[in-house]
A and B are shown apart, each in its own frame.
Chain A
């Protein structure tokens, strides 16, 4: 993992803050005067993982860049709930693009800054999985290929949640959405479809690719900081549970993200120039079922008839991740 784990100070590096740590080792989120890039009053649902993830990422980027940065935001939930005209929740320089072109706009911003000699101002492009995995995919790939000086962040909640929970290229197999109903012999989203964008990004051999979740703040912040310390195309993929689309309790957002990583279903790792350089090991392994059971989008796997065949396939995916990334190899405390 990217963050250096604190060996033992009561809560180590698991909690957001730690009064026993030296101030310079503390997280950006624990600071009393953190940037609060996404401030209160936004219209995201109760327990929104994306709102949380966006503040985590941008506050860390603000700290790393000393506040000298521009954010380009694709259309999607994040944009809709934060900027109903004429209000804004953003306390960063922020630009709204179309649904599909945030990486291209960000490229343009970076070029403009370079042309005007403001090379110390950094550029972050952000959007949901719809904008990143599907609609803006060509722009993203182009930005990677040109190695433009942009950090692209994808907040992955596995669907088009803003427009009413439709399937995206990041919707996991067997999950129910409005367009993949839990009916028929193979209920929910089909197996074998969808895109693993972190690995696609790695295939571009860009300087930096990483995944993170809202359940491990110190890891996420360390990755943002590392990415902001590099130039060229960088990609960060953050798992952000969506209580509305996933049918989960608002209070369980962080817990579900934690179960996704502890089951191995969502691998947390980082890669440089196409090679995995570190992984966040599983701390207390859980069966994938524990992750699924908290989400109504998987309710059809448990009732009226328990679908062990499907659960086993999802477990096999987690096991594949565990083997591929070596998630159980280095136990840490």
Chain B
């Protein structure tokens, strides 16, 4: 071959030069646990379904969401969204409105008539779920999807438990509740209403392989309040129950609610709607110590509910109450001061906590109770083989969200127990911390606020207070998600590599590092918005 003058070598590509040999550290793609998923008691992974919702794939988003939780329209209304409290975006501007998007997906699914896929297997095993509240229905849903035959029994005339008989309609409209429950039952679950289970062993002996106790806590705690004969005292749980049944109690014009939890706030707001001119909450500590959630407290105050902080009810009489002023000691515990005042009140509503009616497990010798709660192990099984329990009957925070999580986790455990296998708990990846994000790349985008019903219109009825997002706002809100700790294919790593050592695999397939050429500069790690690339020492 003849070459030009003074040329001795053929032209070659620099691809022959593997610059990866320079590297001391290498970038690797990781999938971390986003804080929203980490915080969710119902074990949802909001980031996953927000990703689908970002480009308007709402059905896919809904299907992903409902793998963990069959009640998005309900949860989008009543959940106290620990996901938003944990959301990393709150460090940047405001948390992503995960709850609002969840509600949109739930409402949209009802509108579109989307249904769950029928179970593909049949195991022939029969499970009895006692209680048709959020915990029981969540367990029934998961067990049915796993192919088991499920019967749900409940003493009430309608299903829903506290979602129907505790949460007022202005927070959770009943058509939404009915629609989401019906969709679960459509999977082929037997629902037996008006059937109280008095003896769990007897019920189990009807031919069930396992029982899940989810009877909830619907007995109002009785605290001793000295009272005159004519004093009108009701407990908040019964009051809310009666309102839900369409038989509201007569409370009078001036109603005092005693307690500081969400039930107290619900009771006070309900009293307003029933026509009370004054609804006063008496609470013995201060607002920052109140267990009721801020958003609900704020809505209550907007509606004209008044709170007497640092006060206890000392004596109740017809038409008025005697209230004692309290002081917090160094440990934050309220102490009496001996200073009293009178408060006009036609009725006193006690909202001092709830207890479970556990008479159905009396006499089950190997089933332990402590402080009115059923003791379970980490797989939600009681001391009696095959009897599991979850939700408000076990020691935990009493919310719909926790109940749904318990139901799902217990279902997994029941399934494993029926199959005689061990429960496989998913191994959680490390938490995606805010400090690992490069937030420069996220557009400035403030939180989309859900419209609220004006305060004046609210107290005249049980119309829903918080409205939903429309499709456009829901997509906007979903796009505020920063995808903490998980690649969302922004192409930054692919773009910023000076060595062209990141391979783009195509939509949905993410990227790969070409270690033949990656020099380990770390720009891809530094410029990854979501912190989903890490530098690790080069393996020897």
Indicate if the CB atoms of A255 and B526 lie closer than 8 Å.
yes
> A243 — which chain B residues lie within 8 A by C-beta?
521
Residue from B488, B490, B491, B498 within 8 A of A47 (CB atoms) = B498
Given contacts A16-B495, A42-B19, 10 further A-B contacts (CB under 8 A): A15-B529, A19-B489, A20-B54, A29-B491, A36-B500, A40-B15, A47-B522, A85-B9, A252-B526, A333-B445
Indicate if the CB atoms of A55 and B500 lie closer than 8 Å.
yes
- Nearest CB of chain A from residue B200's CB, rounded to whole Å: 51
Residue from A12, A17, A55, A251 within 8 A of B522 (CB atoms) = A251
- The distance in angstroms between the C-alpha atoms of A51 and B521, with both chains bound, is 13
Indicate if the CB atoms of B14 and A30 lie closer than 8 Å.
no
> B500 — which chain A residues lie within 8 A by C-beta?
36, 38-40, 55
> A46 — which chain B residues lie within 8 A by C-beta?
22, 519-521
Indicate if the CB atoms of B516 and A15 lie closer than 8 Å.
no
Which of A86-94, A98-106, A145-153, A306-314 lies at the interface? A86-94
- Nearest CB of chain A from residue B476's CB, rounded to whole Å: 7
Main secondary structure, interface of B, reads: loop
Indicate if the CB atoms of B522 and A16 lie closer than 8 Å.
no
> A19 — which chain B residues lie within 8 A by C-beta?
55, 488-490, 507
Residue from A20, A30, A32, A51 within 8 A of B498 (CB atoms) = A51
CB-CB contacts below 8 Å: B111-135 with A: none
Indicate if the CB atoms of B526 and A11 lie closer than 8 Å.
no
- The distance in angstroms between the C-alpha atoms of A27 and B480, with both chains bound, is 21
- The distance in angstroms between the C-alpha atoms of A52 and B502, with both chains bound, is 13
Could you mark each residue 503-537 of chain B with 1 if its beta carbon is under 8 Å from any beta carbon of chain A, else 0? Answer: 01011000000101101111101110100000000
> B526 — which chain A residues lie within 8 A by C-beta?
251-252, 254-255
Could you mark each residue 45-56 of chain A with 1 if its beta carbon is under 8 Å from any beta carbon of chain B, else 0? Answer: 011110110010
> A14 — which chain B residues lie within 8 A by C-beta?
440-443
List residues of A whose CB falls within 8 A of some B CB.
6-12, 14-20, 27, 29-30, 32, 36, 38-44, 46-49, 51-52, 55, 82, 85-89, 214, 217, 243, 249-255, 258, 284, 333
> B519 — which chain A residues lie within 8 A by C-beta?
46-47, 250
Indicate if the CB atoms of A86 and B10 lie closer than 8 Å.
yes
- Nearest CB of chain A from residue B422's CB, rounded to whole Å: 39
Q: Which residue of B lies closest to A54 (CB)?
A: B498
Q: Which 7 A-B pairs have the closest CB atoms?
A: A17-B491, A16-B495, A251-B522, A41-B14, A47-B521, A12-B443, A40-B517
Task: Please list 7 pairs of residues, one from A and one from B, whose beta carbons are closer than 8 Å in the complex, sorted by A's number.
Answer: A8-B476, A10-B480, A15-B529, A16-B496, A19-B489, A86-B12, A243-B521
List residues of B whose CB falls within 8 A of some A CB.
9-19, 22, 54-55, 440-445, 476, 479-481, 488-492, 494-501, 504, 506-507, 514, 516-517, 519-523, 525-527, 529
Indicate if the CB atoms of B9 and A86 lie closer than 8 Å.
yes
Q: Which residue of A lies closest to B535 (CB)?
A: A251
Among A19, A51, A88, max chain B CB count under 10 A is at A19
- Decide yes or no: A41 and B492 within 8 Å by CB, A9-B479, A14-B440 being known contacts: no
Residue from A8, A12, A42, A253 within 8 A of B499 (CB atoms) = A42
Q: Which residue of B lies closest to A15 (CB)?
A: B490
Indicate if the CB atoms of B489 and A44 lie closer than 8 Å.
no
> B19 — which chain A residues lie within 8 A by C-beta?
40-43
Q: Which residue of A lies closest to B493 (CB)?
A: A16
- The distance in angstroms between the C-alpha atoms of A251 and B534, with both chains bound, is 12
Among A51, A217, A251, A258, max chain B CB count under 10 A is at A251
Q: Which residue of B lies closest to A331 (CB)?
A: B444
> A17 — which chain B residues lie within 8 A by C-beta?
489-492, 494-495
- Nearest CB of chain B from residue A205's CB, rounded to whole Å: 34
- Nearest CB of chain B from residue A131's CB, rounded to whole Å: 20
> B441 — which chain A residues lie within 8 A by C-beta?
11, 14-15
> A7 — which chain B residues lie within 8 A by C-beta?
443
Q: Which residue of B lies closest to A249 (CB)?
A: B522
> B22 — which chain A residues lie within 8 A by C-beta?
46
Indicate if the CB atoms of B14 and A40 lie closer than 8 Å.
yes
Q: Which residue of B lies closest to A253 (CB)?
A: B523
- Decide yes or no: A250 and B489 within 8 Å by CB, A27-B495, A40-B514 being known contacts: no
- Decide yes or no: A41 and B17 within 8 Å by CB, A19-B507, A20-B54, A20-B479 being known contacts: yes
- Nearest CB of chain A from residue B48's CB, rounded to whole Å: 15
> A12 — which chain B residues lie within 8 A by C-beta?
442-443
Indicate if the CB atoms of B443 and A333 lie closer than 8 Å.
yes
- Nearest CB of chain A from residue B94's CB, rounded to whole Å: 15
Q: Which residue of B lies closest to A47 (CB)?
A: B521
- The distance in angstroms between the C-alpha atoms of A9 and B489, with both chains bound, is 13
- Nearest CB of chain B from residue A49's CB, rounded to whole Å: 7
- Nearest CB of chain B from residue A87's CB, rounded to whole Å: 5
Residue from B12, B492, B497 within 8 A of A15 (CB atoms) = B492
> A52 — which chain B residues lie within 8 A by C-beta?
496-498, 523
Q: Which residue of A lies closest to B483 (CB)?
A: A10
> A16 — which chain B residues lie within 8 A by C-beta?
490-492, 494-496
Q: Which residue of A lies closest to B24 (CB)?
A: A46
Q: Which residue of A lies closest to B17 (CB)?
A: A41
- The distance in angstroms between the C-alpha atoms of A36 and B522, with both chains bound, is 20
- Decide yes or no: A32 and B13 within 8 Å by CB, A44-B498, A251-B525 being known contacts: no
- The distance in angstroms between the C-alpha atoms of A259 and B495, with both chains bound, is 19
- The distance in angstroms between the C-alpha atoms of A82 and B494, with both chains bound, is 20
